[in-house]
Structure 1
């Protein structure tokens, strides 16, 4: 891992457990640090497992900033305008195969699907998260993922850019290992929640892949990116960025993989690093 450029051009930060305090808010210190970064010419991009529909709940906290890479790279969302810009969905056949393999390997798995239209879910997918009880379609996975026929439209989940898989009993990390063994390289599988909930994206689609694409389109080199994270779904991004930090409350796997650590989300760990970056950048001119 390299040291940050004297004047980084982009800050990429996870939200829950990294930037946000408990309850999903941003402290006054963190809000001030984000504003100071942008005033110094450093772009801020939120890179989160949250779907776009959950970003609307954070408008008062992050609405003054520009773009969020959502659903672990599956979608790009304009935070200021609350507008979906781009998605990277799973092929319908791949989504059906993912469901079949995981259902066979781990009976009791229930599925939900995020797409541009919103959330769809199976009846047995317990609505524990924000807005899950507002799914616009509830049906078995095979019906939600059915392709269009000559007499009807495609299933409501076709075009999904994130599959959610939930199990009522297994340990989260054990469930992740079982799912990866079942699905192999067909799709990307990770987790970011303390509950037994897996997040599945199209093959090759991660936080890192979409962030790299975003940066390449703007001529930003990875050495000019500083990234922050706390959970396994952040690992690819933290490995890709020129400089990365794990917050003190991060998952053990993340703490072990990332050399540089900062204080916890509750202690404004991200803000403290940003403040230091701005001070050093200013001193270099």
Structure 2
């Protein structure tokens, strides 16, 4: 456990704060509110885009900021999910990654998360939460008539139906990891590609620096590979009971699964400490 009360709690959402049915339990709602009442800032740090933050918008207190799209956007949930900072993926870099993965992993299908919505290839399964802005080849969807004229690109998504999730991640990092940050949060072989150096950890570090908060004053929670850098950066970190083995190895501690309110359990203990 943390030796002293933290100044900031950073928590992933899916598989971590949220239960499997994508709800926030009453126990967790109470724990988050108690932390804020005790003067501890709470940051939701997620791979979700800003428009998918309705699941927690009602439980935001204090500053109301969240880190979305694996660090590519800082969002004000009090202001209609307005993006207050964007760390985009260069479109030319994204095209290079597409070319590389088409060569190294034939059959890869792509989608692109822009600030104004998602676009995807015909082979990429439609998202159940919202409709695509456009459907077509990735190369066409990434094109813009003049550099900077189009909406900023937050992340590139790459899906392979036959490779294993960890195998696809290892392949992609070997082939293109020098050009972009590549990670995953899905149980399927779905990769998430961000600008080089953009991650949950790096954006959280920037937000903490603006507040004069050091890493050893942060407690972080996560369950999947896209949380590893954040858990390593934070002074105290917890892998969920349902976490990926690499996450367990990276975290300094472990709590129970998301279905058992593992985040709330740790917060309650932190607040009860003298």
TM-score category, normalised to shorter length: over 0.9
Q: 1:32-85 deviations in whole A, cap 9, x for unaligned?
A: 00000000000000011111111135434x345612101110111112222121
Q: 1:117-146 deviations in whole A, cap 9, x for unaligned?
A: 111111111114422xx1111121111111
3-state SS of 1:205 partner: coil
Aligned-residue Cα RMSD (Å) equals 1.7
Aligned position for 2:168: 175
Give how far 1:115 is off: 1.4
User: Structure 1 runs of 4+ off > 6 angstroms?
Assistant: none
Q: Which runs of 5+ in 2 are unaligned?
A: none
* Matching of residue 144 in structure 1 with residue 111 in structure 2: no
Aligned position for 2:43: 45
2: CA distance, partners of 1:257 / 1:7:
21
Q: 1:224-278 deviations in whole A, cap 9, x for unaligned?
A: 1000000000000000001101111101111122231011111111101101111
TM-score (norm 1): 0.91
3-state SS of 2:30 partner: helix
**Number of corresponding residues:** 272
Aligned position for 2:111: 112
3-state SS of 1:17 partner: helix
* Matching of residue 224 in structure 1 with residue 217 in structure 2: yes
TM-score (norm 2): 0.94
1:188 is aligned, of 181, 185, 188, to 181
CA contact (8 A) 1:5 1:223 kept: no
Which region of structure 1 is more displaced relative to structure 2, 256-265 or 40-49? 256-265
Q: Given the superposition, is the C-alpha separation of residues 211 and 271 from structure 1 closer, same or farther in structure 2, using an over 3 Å criterion?
A: same
CA contact (8 A) 1:5 1:224 kept: no
Aligned position for 2:272: 279
Q: Given the superposition, is the C-alpha separation of residues 8 and 149 from structure 1 closer, same or farther in structure 2, using an over 3 Å criterion?
A: closer
CA contact (8 A) 1:14 1:229 kept: yes
Q: Given the superposition, is the C-alpha separation of residues 164 and 100 from structure 1 closer, same or farther in structure 2, using an over 3 Å criterion?
A: same
* Structural mapping, 1:224-243, within 5 Å: 224-243=217-236
Q: 1:67-121 deviations in whole A, cap 9, x for unaligned?
A: 2101110111112222121111111211110111111111111111111111111
Aligned position for 1:205: 198
Aligned position for 1:97: 96
Q: Which runs of 5+ in 1 are unaligned?
A: none
3-state SS of 1:50 partner: coil
Q: Given the superposition, is the C-alpha separation of residues 59 and 159 from structure 1 closer, same or farther in structure 2, using an over 3 Å criterion?
A: same
2: CA distance, partners of 1:221 / 1:184:
28
Aligned position for 1:130: 129
Aligned position for 2:86: 87
CA contact (8 A) 1:37 1:278 kept: yes
